[in-house]
A and B are shown apart, each in its own frame.
Chain A
Amino acid sequence: MIVADLSPGDLQARLRTGLYLRTGPFVSCITSSEPLLAEGIALHYAEHAVETEFADFHVRIARPRNLRRWYRPQVRFYFDDAPSFHPLPADQAFPMLEWGLNWCVTNQAHRYLIIHAAVLQRQGKSLILPAPPGSGKSTLCAGLAHSGWRLLSDELALIDPDTGRVVPVPRPVSLKNRSIEILKAFAPQAVFNPTVSDTIKGDVAHMRAPPDALLRAEESAAPGWIVMPHFEAGAAPQLVEITRARGMMALIENAFNFDLHGRRGFDTLGDFVDQCRCYRYSYGSLADAIDGCNRLADAA
Chain B
Amino acid sequence: MSLAEAWRISSNLELACRDWDEDEVVVFSQRLGHSLLLSAASARVLDLLATAAPQTLTQAELVERLLPLCAEGTPTGDIQSLLDVTLPEFYRIGLAEPWINSN
Contact = CB atoms under 8 A, between A and B. Distances in A.
B30 A245 contact: no
B28 A263 contact: yes
Given A243-B20, A249-B37, A263-B14, A270 B26 contact: yes
A252 interface: yes
B14 to A, nearest CB: 7
A81 B18 CA distance: 43
B33 interface: yes
Contacts of B26: 245, 248-249, 252, 270
A233 B90 CA distance: 40
Contacts of A270: 18, 26
A246 B37 contact: yes
Given A263-B16, A263-B30, A267-B16, A252 B35 contact: yes
Nearest to A244: B20
Contacts of A263: 14, 16, 28, 30
A274 B37 CA distance: 16
A266 B35 contact: yes
Interface string B22-39: 111110101001110100
A262 interface: yes
Interface residues of B, number: 16
Scoring A243, A262, A273 by chain B CB atoms within 10 A of each residue's CB, the highest score goes to A243
A262 B26 CA distance: 14
Interface in A229-255: 243-246, 248-249, 252
Contacts of B37: 245-246, 249
A273 B23 CA distance: 16
Interface in B1-50: 14, 16, 18-20, 22-26, 28, 30, 33-35, 37
15 contacts: A243-B20, A244-B22, A245-B19, A245-B24, A245-B25, A248-B18, A249-B26, A249-B37, A252-B35, A262-B33, A263-B14, A263-B16, A266-B16, A266-B28, A273-B18
Interface of B: 14, 16, 18-20, 22-26, 28, 30, 33-35, 37
